[in-house]
């Protein structure tokens, strides 16, 4: 179960009302309910959490629907544990089957309603742990609830001075708290969005005149920099820019609202004449390809646990871009070079700021030119077919296969035919990276290879969605129930999972 992250200005986490941390020492394990869901045998009510949403695992959204109808849909659906209702002209209803990566923002136009047993007596507050979710997070001090007037009766003069200081402090606090409010259920604070527009001079100074280069690609060159508030950043100088300034700024206004724990956070942009730059958070361990294809043995070998977490994190990020953003975001260039690794080797997908944004009214779109990297591009790019999110699913399948094998898919040991043969015989050792010396979870490897093959289907309608991939991998963490049928060289798979 997910948690809610807040920024003040650094990242903080808390569990929703009625939930507690699975592991008090580790936020990555999420939260669990203090009650149980008993469909058909229990009456339920909803707890309102304003301006909050949880990404992923929508049971199907409904447009132009009343709040009462949305509420009844969730009450009548056993697998629904919450619903999000957005007031964007007409009501839009998003029933939720699972909760991941909570997000609270004053700009969010909707409310989350958490489904709890009617008999549950929840307090009007939820504990916000002093633990932090990431190495860069900081604990935020909160003002004392009760000032101490120990010397009030002894030193009236001191009391008067303290009272004056207190009044001034309260006045200052109230004047700036418009951006930071406590939720009705407590324990939550709104995210203060740090996305902003930078001047070219600011970024020139932050990077030391673009002195330290981190890497380069077809879309631009990335430099390391440090802002005046001591944040370390990565600045991407875009090259061959063909869009106009108005279009660029319009895209940035949407991208600035995107936030997910497995996406590299964009802190801002610069658009001045011929200069167009993106400002990202700096990710310590750079890109996945350095560790995955390290033939010289100079980098740390990725153990199996790291690989599985990277696969799951990348899938979660793509599922969010495809299914949870107010506009569809096609990444169009998923590859190891665009998956960055944190200090704890958690995956963060980069370069989605150069992706294509589309309104959700359509289902597929035409591009004026091919996008992506050879070897990771879906077949439909070459056939001039309208493009949809399945191009990213195909690229993810290539990356997934490379993470398991530890080498480029162009290698003869990772051809799709070899993978299908390994799946048919149940022998995954011939595919899994030999540098692991057999130290891997064979059941997880089997599921990952099955998912990879399904993502690489030539016919895109047969590829799974990224939501389905995430659910399959999550189930793989706890239990696996696989039936494999080999027929006409095609592998089909059934992984025990909850219906969407």
Residues 165-219 have pLDDT tens digits of 878 887 776 665 544 343 323 333 323 346 788 999 999 999 999 999 988 876 7
Q: Answer yes or no: is pLDDT of 148 > 50.
A: no
Q: What is the pTM of this model?
A: 0.60
pLDDT digits (tens, 9 = 90+) for 351-395: 875 555 444 444 554 554 566 788 898 998 888 778 888 999 999
Q: Which CATH architecture has domain 196-281?
A: 2-Layer Sandwich (3.30)
* CA dist., res. 490 & res. 500, Å (int): 25
Q: Between 292 and 25, where is the model more confident?
A: 292
DSSP 8-state symbol, 435: G
**Tens digits of per-residue pLDDT, 231-248?**
999 999 987 665 666 667
Q: What does the pLDDT read at residue 89?
A: 65
Strand (E) or helix (H) holding 301: none
Helices (H), 436-486: 442-455, 466-478
CA 194 → CA 151, 198, 231, 280, 402, distances in Å?
Answer: 42, 12, 12, 12, 35
Task: Please provide residue 151's backbone torsions phi and psi, each rounded to the nearest 5 degrees.
Answer: -105, 20
Domain with CATH 3.50.4.10 in the chain: 4-117
Residues 406-421 have pLDDT tens digits of 988 855 445 566 777 7
Contact 73, 338 (CB under 8 A): no
For residue 178, the model assigns a pLDDT of 45
Task: List active site positions.
Answer: 333
Mean pLDDT of all residues in the chain?
A: 75
**Residue 310 neighbours by CB distance under 10 Å:** 25
**What number is the average pLDDT over the span 280-290?**
89
> 385: which DSSP letter?
P
* pLDDT at residue 245, rounded to an integer: 67
Which is higher by pLDDT, 87 or 408?
Answer: 408
* Binding-site sequence positions for ATP: 237
Torsional class of 313: left (φ above 0), alpha (ψ -120 to 50), beta (otherwise):
alpha
Instruction: Return the CATH fold of 4-117.
Output: Hepatocyte Growth Factor (3.50.4)
Confidence (pLDDT) at 86: 81
Ranges for all domains in the chain classified under CATH 3.30.200.20: 196-281
Q: State pLDDT tens for residues 1-14.
A: 555 555 445 556 78
pLDDT of residue 38: 78
The 3-state DSSP class for residue 284 equals coil
CA-to-CA distance for 293 and 290, rounded, in angstroms?
Answer: 6
Q: What is the pLDDT of residues 462-476, one digit of tens each?
A: 999 999 999 999 988
pLDDT grade for 328, boundaries at 50, 70 and 90: low
Q: What is the CATH number of domain 288-495?
A: 1.10.510.10
Q: Where are the CATH 1.10.510.10 domain residues in the chain?
A: 288-495
Alpha carbon 118 to its chain centroid, in Å, reads 32
pLDDT at res. 449: 93
């Amino acid at each position: 179960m997910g948690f809610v992250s807040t920024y003040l200005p650094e990242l903080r986490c808390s569990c929703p009302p009625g939930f507690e941390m699975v592991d008090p020492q580790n936020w990555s394990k999420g939260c669990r309910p203090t009650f149980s869901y008993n469909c058909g045998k229990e009456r339920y009510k909803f707890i309102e959490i304003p301006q909050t949403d949880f990404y992923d695992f929508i049971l199907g959204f409904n447009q132009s629907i009343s709040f009462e109808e949305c509420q009844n849909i969730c009450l009548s659906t056993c697998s629904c544990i919450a619903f999000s209702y957005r007031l964007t002209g007409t009501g839009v209803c998003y029933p939720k089957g699972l909760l991941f990566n909570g997000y609270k923002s004053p700009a969010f136009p909707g409310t989350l309603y958490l489904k709890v047993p009617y008999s549950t007596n929840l307090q009007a507050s939820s504990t916000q742990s002093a633990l932090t979710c990431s190495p860069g997070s900081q604990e935020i001090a909160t003002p004392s609830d009760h000032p101490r007037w120990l010397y009030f009766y002894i030193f009236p003069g001191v009391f008067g001075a303290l009272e004056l200081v207190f009044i001034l402090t309260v006045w200052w606090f109230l004047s700036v708290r418009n951006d930071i409010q406590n939720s009705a259920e407590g324990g939550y604070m709104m995210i203060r969005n740090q996305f902003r527009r930078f001047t070219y001079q600011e970024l020139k100074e932050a990077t030391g005149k673009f002195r330290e280069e981190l890497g380069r690609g077809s879309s631009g060159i990335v430099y390391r920099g440090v802002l005046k508030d001591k944040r370390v950043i990565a600045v991407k100088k875009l090259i061959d820019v063909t869009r106009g300034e108005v279009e660029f700024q319009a895209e940035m206004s949407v991208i600035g609202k995107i936030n997910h724990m497995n996406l590299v956070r964009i802190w801002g942009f610069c658009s001045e004449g011929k200069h167009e730059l993106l400002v990202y958070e700096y990710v310590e361990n750079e890109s996945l390809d350095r560790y995955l294809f390290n033939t010289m043995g100079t980098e740390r070998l990725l153990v199996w646990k790291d690989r599985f977490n990277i696969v799951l994190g990348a899938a979660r990020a793509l599922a969010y871009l495809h299914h949870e953003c107010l506009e569809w975001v096609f990444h169009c260039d998923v590859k190891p070079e665009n998956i960055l690794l944190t200090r704890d080797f958690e995956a963060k997908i980069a370069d989605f700021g150069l992706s294509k944004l589309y309104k959700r009214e359509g289902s597929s779109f035409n591009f004026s030119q091919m996008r992506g990297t050879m070897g990771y591009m879906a077949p439909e790019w070459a056939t001039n077919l309208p493009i949809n999110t399945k191009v990213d699913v195909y690229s993810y399948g290539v990356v997934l296969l490379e993470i398991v094998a530890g080498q480029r898919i162009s290698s003869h040991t990772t051809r799709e035919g070899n993978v299908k043969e390994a799946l048919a015989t149940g022998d995954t050792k011939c595919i899994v990276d030999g540098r692991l010396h057999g130290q891997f979870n064979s059941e997880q490897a089997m599921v990952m290879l099955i998912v990879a093959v399904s993502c690489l289907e030539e016919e895109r309608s047969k590829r799974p969605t990224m939501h389905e991939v995430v659910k399959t991998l999550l189930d793989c963490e706890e239990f696996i129930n696989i039936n494999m049928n080999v027929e006409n060289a095609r592998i089909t798979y059934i992984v025990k999972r909850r219906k969407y």
